[in-house]
Structure 1
Amino acid sequence: MMSLDNFQKIVRSPIIPYVETMTAGLLPGELVIIRGSVPEDSERFQVDFQCGNSTKPRADVAFHFNPRFKRSGCVVCNTLQNERWGHEEITYEMPFGKGKPFEIIFMVLRDKFQVSVNGKHLLLYKHKINLEKIDTLGIYGKVEISLIGFVSNKSLQGSQPTLLGTTKKNTGNEELPDSSQFVLPYVARLHSSLEPGRTIVIKGEVKEKAQSFAINLKPSDSSDIALHLNPRMKDKAFVRNSYLLNGWGEEEKHIAYFPFSPGMYFELIILCKEHQYNVAINGVHTLEYKHRFKQLNKINTVEILGDIELLDVRSW
């Protein structure tokens, strides 16, 4: 659940149909959050990211997100250009239920929309119309909306300076990280070793045909791995372990649901606490891992490898 202080703009309990201009347009990194509930007698509703609000001729719809409740239900996504619909992309996983509340998060990315419902990743929709042309949000159909919130990309991307000493020389001017430093396998030293309260954020995109990837926190003076996070796409398993005294320990695999999906963007946050690590993905708390390697002050290295495109690594 996003906290309200991150919102740039909030619309409460709008009347449906709701059609409103987004004065600032949409930028990569921004979130549009919609909370509401589905009435018992609803057959469908839709959220449309439109290019204008003309009805005759009908404005282009860059992204039409349309849950339908007939039979077992599905979510239909499409694009309307020059009053003609394109090819429907249908998702049969149905996160909405009649009479039930929901929270939809639309994450705007450079090349696609990424949608999660009730904290779970649902689908990706590649841009078919230039993002700059989207200036209107429309919500139609049988649905009750309690809140529409807009989060700008600044709060999402975190204004913290990067505190990782990368292997490249730092010239002293804190510019945006140059993507060439995020080649995998990636190894970086933390500016100061781990302690309770320290946070590490890893941003990336899962490759389309990804098998697995791994994130390791380790000391530099031994082959130990204090925390090994290893999502495996094929088995939908999120393995956690430690490598101590030249051997792997017992794997921890229990998870409420597998949070990764091919092509999806993620922000993985590791918070070091006194007795455990807390791990969250895209703002949703996902797991805890009790410290097996107890000398936290020796942990000073982050290692990332596998089938992802690494976009940013930060620590504070």
Structure 2
Amino acid sequence: MMFSLNSLQNVVYNPIIPYVGTISEQLEPGTLIVLRGQVPSDSDRFQVDLQCGSSVKPRADVAFHFNPRFRRANCIVCNTLKNEKWGREEISYDVPFKEGKSFEIVVMVLKDKFQVAVNGKHTLIYAHRISLEKIDTLGIYGKVIIHSVGFSFSSDLRSSQASTLEWTEISEENAQKSGVSQFTLPFVARLNSSVGPGRTVVIKGEINTNAKGFSVNLLSGKSKDIALHLNPRLNVKAFVRNSFLQESWGEEERNITCFPFSPGMYFEELCRRFRGLGVPCVHMIIYCDVREFKVAVNGVHSLEYRHRFKDLSHIDTLEIDGDIHLLEVRSW
């Protein structure tokens, strides 16, 4: 899944390499950095650095050094530079880059790590060694062609949706609608309007450390039919999809190219009614066209689930339960 440039902020097109630019806002959990470019056929390496300033002498600290190498060892080296000294290298030999081919790199900022996906597939995770508050500069170096660099800041999502909260709590035990840090599970909420064009639901949470699984349901409150049942099962690494119609479960769908969840994983989920338009969404995305739901998780996976519940206008209720620490629920 490719991110629409319309969904990104501070986009820089065709920067000259080496490129050093200031990051306009503070990096926070949920921020995305999206780079599109191409690896030249004669490239031996390039690097993307999240830096603490742009000083050359002394050299600025590098919180996250992402360094694909193509010659002697085809690998990706990650590291941190503190006080002009490199730390312990973390090396991945699963290299998704091809010389002469285009790429899309998505760096997702999590509360305790960076998660990197290349061309829609999970590539690596790198734990923070320097606090996010110190990172203010992006550097790109080496033999690489960059077509665009853009950001999706978590603050943009919060500020743009703060006044458009549209759901009604069904359970009195659920937390207040705004300014919450925790919800009681199971969480049940009725949308103020049913699923329709442009409809969006945002779920922010963290998967519990010893999680076995959790579920997200979109259903008809009147009939209790579940139009879409998403059930990641971490203990068996299965992402189950199904529908519960006329008091009966249908056939499970499980096929998936890459299981995108892990214990302790922070995520956001955007559920959007979709009709052939680019979806300016990040993290876990569920959007709906006339034939199917389409799902992406943190930009690293996509799947399709064909509609079994035919009248989408009756989908008006959201249910969430399981091994998840729920932080925020919004809809518009």
TM band (smaller chain): 0.7 to 0.9
SS at match of 1:53: coil
Superposed displacement of residue 104, structure 1: 1.0
The answer to whether structure 1 residue 288 and structure 2 residue 304 are counterparts is: yes
SS at match of 2:319: strand
Correspondence for 2:165:
162
1:93/1:233 CA distance change after superposition, 3 Å: farther
Matches within 5 A, 1:20-169: 20-70=21-71, 73-157=74-158, 159-160=160-161, 161-166=164-169, 167-168=171-172
- Give the letter aligned to residue 282 of structure 1: N
The answer to whether structure 1 residue 260 and structure 2 residue 261 are counterparts is: yes
The answer to whether structure 1 residue 314 and structure 2 residue 316 are counterparts is: no
Q: Check conservation: 1:120, 1:259, Cα contact below 8 A.
A: no
Superposed displacement of residue 238, structure 1: 2.2
1:305/1:92 CA distance change after superposition, 3 Å: farther
User: What do you get for the CA RMSD once the two structures are aligned?
Assistant: 3.0
Correspondence for 2:277:
none
Q: Check conservation: 2:258, 2:301, Cα contact below 8 A.
A: no
Segment drifting more, 45-54 vs 259-268: 259-268
The answer to whether structure 1 residue 202 and structure 2 residue 203 are counterparts is: yes
Correspondence for 1:302:
318
Correspondence for 1:178:
180
Superposed displacement of residue 102, structure 1: 0.8
**Distance (whole Å) between structure 2 residues aligned to residue 208 and residue 69 of structure 1:** 36
TM-score normalised to structure 2 length: 0.81
**Distance (whole Å) between structure 1 residues aligned to residue 209 and residue 97 of structure 2:** 26
**Distance (whole Å) between structure 2 residues aligned to residue 15 and residue 199 of structure 1:** 37
How many residues are paired up? Answer: 313
1:186/1:90 CA distance change after superposition, 3 Å: farther
Superposed displacement of residue 64, structure 1: 0.9
Segment drifting more, 143-152 vs 250-259: 250-259
- Give the letter aligned to residue 19 of structure 1: V
Q: Check conservation: 2:180, 2:327, Cα contact below 8 A.
A: no
Superposed displacement of residue 180, structure 1: 2.2
- Write out the 4+ residue segments of structure 1 that deviate beyond 6 Å after TM superposition: none
The answer to whether structure 1 residue 276 and structure 2 residue 292 are counterparts is: yes
Identity of aligned residues (%): 60
SS at match of 1:5: helix
**Distance (whole Å) between structure 1 residues aligned to residue 101 and residue 157 of structure 2:** 28
Gaps of 5+ in 2: 272-285
Q: Check conservation: 2:20, 2:140, Cα contact below 8 A.
A: yes
Q: Check conservation: 1:60, 1:80, Cα contact below 8 A.
A: yes
Q: Check conservation: 1:8, 1:150, Cα contact below 8 A.
A: yes
**Distance (whole Å) between structure 2 residues aligned to residue 273 and residue 47 of structure 1:** 36
SS at match of 1:180: coil
1:206/1:37 CA distance change after superposition, 3 Å: farther
